[in-house]
């Protein structure tokens, strides 16, 4: 009996540690927000009505997976421009951290500082890593009318930009 209780307690703790708010689904209006970018400007989702938005959440500036993912989005920037799409990266890092990351990695798209963790939570993309809350690696493709067209959760950084471009090519016809 004790073993069952320990197992149940461990499973409950594990599920609570990784529980996030509900992830908005395709077809829903994307929750609006305003966050500071790496250059200090305030960026709001509603400013991009009429454009496709690739809103990607990532754990931490400068880490291997996050750097690979950002480099691939940067590499494909011209393809996104051709599709009338903007890329917005979000993590709980500060605008200063984003500024350093962009300068070091040559990133030109906006990285947004969700230091209050409210936007990550609104998008069901806030998770616990040991003692810190970070953004989970999730992406939302938002159409020009502000509706979520596609959602990816737990993405693989190396192939993700290609996946997003493929979906954009299919949905943006």
Per-residue pLDDT at 14 exceeds 60: no
Among 35, 55, 66, 168, the active-site one is 66
Q: What are phi and psi of 108, to 5 degrees?
A: -115, -10
Give the structural domain span for 32.
Answer: 21-171
CATH number at residue 69: 3.40.30.10
Residue 156 lies in a domain: yes
Per-residue pLDDT at 171: 84
Residue 51 pLDDT greater than 90, yes or no: yes
3-state secondary structure at position 87? strand
Please state the domain count of the chain: 1
More reliable by pLDDT, 21 or 32: 32
Beta bridge partners of 37: 112
Q: What confidence tier does 128 reach under pLDDT thresholds 50, 70, 90?
A: confident
Q: Specify if 91 maps to a domain.
A: yes
Q: For position 131, what pLDDT does the model report?
A: 63
Residue 121 is given by DSSP the state H
> Is 66 one of the annotated active-site residues of the chain?
yes
Which pLDDT does position 156 carry in this prediction? 92
- Does pLDDT of 17 surpass 60? no
Residue-averaged pLDDT of the chain: 88
More confident residue, 136 or 17: 136
Q: How far apart are CA 82 and CA 41, in angstroms?
A: 24
Classify residue 123: in a domain, yes or no: yes
Classify residue 79 by burial, with Cβ atoms within 10 Å: 0-12, 13-18, 19+: middle
Report if residue 16 sits inside a domain: no
User: Is pLDDT above 60 for 11?
Assistant: no
Residue 95 included in any domain: yes
89's CB contacts (< 8 A; 6+ apart) are: 56, 57, 58, 70, 73, 109, 110, 111, 112
9-17: list long-range contacts, CB under 8 Å, 24+ apart.
Answer: 17/128
pLDDT number for residue 165: 97
pLDDT tens for 68-106 read 999 999 999 999 999 999 999 999 999 999 999 999 999
Helix 64-75 vs helix 95-105: angle between axes, to the nearest 10 degrees? 60
Q: With bands split at pLDDT 50, 70 and 90, how would you rate the model's confidence at 172?
A: low
Quote the CA–CA distance of 171 and 119 in Å, as a whole number. 25
């Amino acid at each position: 009996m004790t073993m069952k209780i320990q197992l149940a307690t461990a499973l409950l703790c594990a599920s609570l540690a990784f529980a996030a708010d509900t992830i908005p689904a395709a077809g829903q209006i994307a929750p609006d927000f305003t966050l500071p970018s790496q250059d200090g400007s305030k960026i709001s989702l509603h400013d991009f009505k009429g454009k496709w938005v690739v809103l990607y959440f990532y754990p931490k500036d400068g880490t291997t997976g996050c750097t690979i993912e950002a480099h691939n989005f940067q590499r494909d920037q011209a393809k996104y421009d051709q599709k009338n799409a903007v890329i917005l990266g979000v993590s709980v890092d500060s605008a200063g951290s984003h500024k350093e990351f962009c300068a070091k990695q040559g990133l030109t798209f906006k990285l947004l500082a969700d230091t209050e963790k409210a936007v990550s939570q609104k998008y069901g993309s806030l998770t616990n890593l040991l003692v810190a809350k970070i953004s989970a690696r999730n992406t939302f493709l938002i159409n020009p009318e502000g509706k979520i067209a596609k959602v990816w959760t737990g993405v693989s950084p190396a192939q993700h930009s290609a996946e997003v471009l493929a979906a954009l090519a299919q949905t943006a016809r």
